[in-house]
Amino acid sequence: MKRGYFESDILKKMREEESFGVLDLSKELALKYISSIDGKDVFPKDEAISGLDNFNEDLGNIAESPENIIKMLDKYGSPATVAQTGRRYFGFVTGGIIPASLSARWLIDAWDQNGALYVISPVASKIEEVCEGWVNQLLNLPPDTAAGFVGGSATAILCGLAAGRNHLLNNIGYDVAKKGLFGAPEIKVVVGEQAHSTIFKALSILGLGAERIIKVPSDGQGRMVVDKISELDNRTLLIMQAGNVNSGSFDDFKHICPIAKRANAWVHVDGAFGLWALACDGMKSLTEGAEMADSWSVDAHKTLNAPYDNGIILCRHRTALSNAMHMTGSYIVYSEKRDGMLYTPEMSRRARGIEVWATLKALGKKGISELVLELHNKAKYFAELLQDNGLEILNDVVFNQVLVRYKDDEKTEKLIKMVQQSGVCWMGGSKWQDKSVMRISVSSYKTSYEDIDISAKEIIRIANEISAE
């Protein structure tokens, strides 16, 4: 080495091969965590949460050993986790993590591939291409539907609506990507009043405004009322829903999609957890017509039980999506092969499609269909147990969501709080038609009928206790 150059001891140490020996420790602690998950409180107790104060420290000047870092995470982090990968977590709509998908993540994390371009990672490009084809087939979408592998539905929705906005404006001769929205012809946005909050977020980011849109009234299950949908035309972005985040209901694709298609409107379907119903033979009546849409957003980290963070944007018009996400730069080398960044807002990105691929392969078509059906059947079973014991079910259980009420707002809220503190199971609260409800989401492959028996028993026990007060 020439004089005047200096080599860092810290980096030198990290370069030594044995630095990665700490992976053995990670594996040991991860396996210990996984095997203990079902004995853990579903939501961490206060004591575990106060343990997080140990992270309140200044960044030291001295490099810490990887062993100590992993040990610290295990000591204070693990106990404060929510047992969402366990058997009795019914909060939000989350999904567990199937073994093949976690194992695939570990391996590809070691690869640390960048999914932006073929030349940066041929393996990411290839496997995401295969995965795109599989998803199209599974969901019965047109064969050339483009898939972008993004962090979740919020991003996927943003991509679908950007593609739709640009496509509609392009068709009437206005290049919004170049000219911007100032001075653009107006487009109409029609959306169900029960749309997920991320739809409104995407619309506001895209300059379409969260308030100037036309909201379609919904029926008792949260579906758009077909007769109340305003006139659609070739300047309309229509946003539909497969799986209402509270009730699990599906918009009436069979009647609405053909009307929208005839009008040349762009239809986007937010199917964050519900779109997988398209892969289930037993659920055709819910999804019929959804395949006619122009774009669809779906998560793999919810119903499919892939790890976070995995969402997919699917777009019938490949060039509309890639034009909306396109960028150029002197060093960017697009290839004949699949370049992942053409379909996502990100440039650099983990090769997350590989986890989706592993998840699909581990379940197979049959397994996916059975997973979707079983989550539904278990939700129905849960609802029946509760209803038979004096609780009220407010929704038709058409998918995996159950809305439960106990007498009045006050008792329902008390029930939710006490169940959450029980450690036995965890479900969140919500509002449904201005009433407080307990929202149950059966979304983990791990949940068995026995777990539902145990959870229902606990809910009923607490309800009776509240009644006796």
Ligand X SMILES: *Cc1c(COP(=O)(O)O)cnc(C)c1O
Q: Which residues bind ligand X (CB under 6 A)?
A: 93, 152-154, 196, 198, 243, 245, 270, 272-273, 299, 311
Tokens of 95: 């999904």
Closer to ligand X by CB, 297 or 420: give it.
297
Q: How far is the CB of 251 from ligand X (least distance, A)?
A: 11
Greatest alpha-carbon span in the chain: 83
Closer to ligand X by CB, 145 or 401: give it.
401
Closer to ligand X by CB, 272 or 404: give it.
272
Rounded Cα distance, 277 and 358, in Å: 20
Q: How far is the CB of 391 from ligand X (least distance, A)?
A: 24
What pairing do the DSSP bridges indicate for beta strands 311-315 and 428-432?
Answer: unpaired
**Are the beta carbons of 372 and 132 closer than 8 angstroms?**
no
- Nearest one of 127, 130, 102, 106 to 115, comparing CA atoms: 127
- Nearest one of 284, 207, 203, 201 to 238, comparing CA atoms: 203
Q: How far is the CB of 326 from ligand X (least distance, A)?
A: 23
Closer to ligand X by CB, 301 or 338: give it.
301
Closer to ligand X by CB, 154 or 277: give it.
154
Residues 6+ apart with CB under 8 A from 468: none
**Are the beta carbons of 168 and 234 closer than 8 angstroms?**
yes
Q: How far is the CB of 217 from ligand X (least distance, A)?
A: 18
Give rounded-to-5 percent helix, strand, coil for the chain.
50, 15, 40
Kindly report the number of other CB atoms within 10 A of residue 242's CB atom: 27
Q: How far is the CB of 439 from ligand X (least distance, A)?
A: 11
Closer to ligand X by CB, 160 or 243: give it.
243
- Nearest one of 203, 213, 195, 129 to 160, comparing CA atoms: 203
Q: How far is the CB of 313 from ligand X (least distance, A)?
A: 11
Minimal CB distance residue for ligand X: 152
Closer to ligand X by CB, 311 or 353: give it.
311
* Burial state string for 91-104 with b = 16 or more CB within 10 A and e = fewer than 16: bbbbbbbbebbbeb
Closer to ligand X by CB, 132 or 270: give it.
270
Q: How far is the CB of 48 from ligand X (least distance, A)?
A: 25
Distance of CA 126 to the CA centre of its chain: 23
Residues 6+ apart with CB under 8 A from 52: 76, 77, 80
Closer to ligand X by CB, 289 or 311: give it.
311
Distance of CA 447 to the CA centre of its chain: 19
Residues 6+ apart with CB under 8 A from 415: 406, 438, 459, 462, 463, 466
Rounded Cα distance, 99 and 362, in Å: 9
Closer to ligand X by CB, 235 or 439: give it.
439
The DSSP letter of residue 77 is I
- Nearest one of 291, 273, 298, 277 to 140, comparing CA atoms: 291
Q: How far is the CB of 403 from ligand X (least distance, A)?
A: 14
Q: Is 430 helix (H, G, I), strand (E, B) or coil?
A: strand
Rounded Cα distance, 204 and 198, in Å: 10
Closer to ligand X by CB, 244 or 420: give it.
244
Q: How far is the CB of 152 from ligand X (least distance, A)?
A: 3
Q: How far is the CB of 92 from ligand X (least distance, A)?
A: 7
Q: Is 87 helix (H, G, I), strand (E, B) or coil?
A: coil
Q: How far is the CB of 197 from ligand X (least distance, A)?
A: 8
Closer to ligand X by CB, 86 or 152: give it.
152
Q: How far is the CB of 346 from ligand X (least distance, A)?
A: 14
